[in-house]
Amino acid sequence: MPPVRSAPGRRAPEFRRSSRRRLPGWIWWLVGIFLVVGLMLFVLHHKQREHFRPPAIDKGSEIEVAHHEKVNFTEELLSSTSFARQLADQMTLAKAYVILAKEHGNLQLAWELSSQIRNCQRLLSEGAVSGRAINQEEAHPIITQLARLIYKAQDSHYDISTTIVTLKSHALALEERAKAAVVQTAEFGQLAAESVPKNLHCLTVKLTEEWLQNPKLRSRSEEHRNSTRLVDNNLYHFAIFSDNVLATSVVVNSTVSNANHPQQLVFHVVTDRIHFGAMSTWFLINDFKGCTVEVRCIDEFTWLDKAASPLVRQLSEMETQGFYYGDSKNLEREIKFHNPKFVSLLNHLRFYIPQILPNLEKVVFLDDDVVVQKDLTQLFSIELHGNVIGAVETCLESFHRYHKYLNFSHPIISSKIDPNTCGWAFGMNIFDLIAWRKANATALYHYWQEQNADLLLWRTGTLPAGLLTFYGLMEPLDRRWHVLGLGYDVDIDDRLIDSAAVVHYNGNMKPWLKLAIRRYKYIWDRYVNFTHPYVRECLLH
């Protein structure tokens, strides 16, 4: 009956089906868990990619930039194993052979060398700009061509000795040309600084015409001469000696614009005969906030003659005239020491202030290339402790001390003056005229001018004469009263300029010239009346 007893066989399949129902439960649980975890990981990963994608790009660019920055092209040129160094060396040698080839008439070789030199320069420029090293694939064709041409040049008997001699002669010629160019540049710069711009000359001419055609102006000028304000020591007096109408106007305008009480200011302007009419007209037809402006001509000072002034006597001598006004062909000469302005009587009038203004006790002297930014009336209350002049010292360590200006090998100087004494600046000075007359400082000036008749004590200018005249008679002022260098120094601290009572355009780059340093020109332009008809007509802008 075995066939009948087949139930166990049927139960076995039932047993297996029961087992299969439990196993899919495990699997589905596991699959479900893995699906959920996988979905979460996918979402998280996707969000992280979206979130960090820009930084990844930036980081990559930064890495790339850093990679480029690691290549120092200067070091590449100095490295004996780099292709950039090989190219540079071959290019230098090829340039020498270009010169030799041209001198020997081999223009074809010179042209081939020049062509490869340009290719070499182009490749080096690309490497320097991109900041990457030049590889062999780029350098090999140029190096090969340059090597072939250099060997070709050497075969043309351009040997080393010939090359050295030729290049040496060229180097000497270039050195001479460079030296001549430097001297020529100095001459042209000095000439530009000394010359009168066309627009300023135009202004002077128009004002002079007005002076000659308008008798009322001349009458008013004479009336102003009798004003009691000119000798009132309760007012604040300023002295300006100049032949530049516009520059003098800026000095006056800037001074009164920054004064608390401009009506109490009196300006004593002295000019030459040529500019007297123009200077007088300008200050008569313009109002400067109620201040008083007196204009005088230097020819009025009849006492300033050969007998009274060694400078006047020296200027009449032929040798002195030739030194300052002669047409020297020697390019070795020091241009700045031959400037006629340095021996101008207007420039030396500062040593005669007590004679020019005999009734005054204190005077502030201003150069025509300064701009005033603060109220200067406070200068009159500064105690000079019996000294004649108040000035800002200019020495920093060993610079601008007396030994920089004077010839201390001369016994007259070395026996009387300390070479380490601190120098100081002309251009904005307070003078105690009572102490001046007591010290007889003008006589001291005459003494030193006579001792320097042969120009052995100092070259020229008023500062060395002032340093000697007022030696031991100078009271140092706070540095902020007078800041110098706006006519030659392009790196003056803006904070120093802003804090200065007076800024000085000493140097050749005057603010009314095209040579002016643009960074500082706006300070001067502030006080120019560009709306005035004469100024507009002369295109002063």
The pLDDT > 90 percentage for the chain reads 51
pLDDT at site 497: 96
93-102 burial code (b ≥16 CB/10 A, e <16): bbebbbbbbe
Q: Which residues contact 368 (CB under 8 A, 6 or more apart)?
A: 240, 241, 242, 244, 247, 248, 251
> In angstroms, rounded to a whole number, what is the distance separating the alpha carbons of residues 297 and 282?
15
Q: How far apart are CA 503 and CA 428, in angstroms?
A: 9
Exposed / middle / buried, residue 79 (Cβ in 10 Å: 0-12, 13-18, 19+): middle
HSE-up of residue 121 (Cα within 13 Å, Cβ side):
9
Which pLDDT band, with edges at 50, 70 and 90, does 190 fall under? low
| Distance, CA of 250 to CA of 330 (rounded, Å) | 38
Residue 417 CA to residue 41 CA, distance in Å, equals 91
Query: How do the residues of the chain divide into helix, strand and coil, expressed in percent and rounded to 5?
Result: 60, 10, 30
- Centre a 10 Å sphere on the Cβ of residue 431 and count the other Cβ atoms it contains: 27
Mean pLDDT of 486-512: 94
In this structure, the number of other CB atoms found within 10 A of the CB of residue 72 comes to 12
Check pLDDT > 90 for residue 135.
Answer: no
Confidence of residue 383 (pLDDT cuts 50, 70, 90): very high
Lowest model confidence (mean pLDDT) among 185-199, 293-307, 474-488: 185-199
Residue with the two structure tokens 């241009």: 335
CA distance 437 to 114: 75
Q: To which residue do tokens 């600084």 refer?
A: 193
Tell me the C-alpha distance between 249 and 527, whole Å.
Answer: 8
Homologous superfamily assigned to 198-539: Spore Coat Polysaccharide Biosynthesis Protein SpsA; Chain A (3.90.550.10)
Please give, one letter per residue, the 3-state secondary structure of 215-229.
HHHHHHHHHHHCCHH
pLDDT tens per residue across span 53-107: 444 444 444 444 444 445 676 777 777 788 888 888 888 888 888 887 887 788 8
Residue 324 scores a pLDDT above 60? no
DSSP, res 196: P
pLDDT at 403: 92
How far is CA 536 from each of CA 199, 286, 287, rounded to the nearest angstrom?
Answer: 10, 15, 18
Sole residue written with tokens 């299969």 = 20
Helix (H, G, I), strand (E, B) or coil at 392: coil
**Pairing label, strands 370-372, 502-504:** antiparallel
* pLDDT tens digit sequence for 416-463: 999 999 999 999 999 999 999 999 999 999 999 999 988 899 988 899
Give SS3 for 34: helix
Q: Which residues contact 308 (CB under 8 A, 6 or more apart)?
A: none
| Domain boundary assignment for the chain | 73-194, 198-539
CA distance 324 to 194: 13
Average pLDDT of the residues in 251-279: 97
Is residue 391 a contact partner of residue 477, using CB atoms and an 8 Å limit? yes
The mean pLDDT value of the chain amounts to: 82
Contacts of 366 (CB under 8 A, 6+ apart): 238, 239, 240, 251, 255, 372, 427, 428, 502
> φ, ψ for residue 313 (rounded to 5)?
-65, -45
β partners of residue 239: 268, 365
The three-state secondary structure class of 299 is helix
270 phi, psi to nearest 5 deg? -120, 130
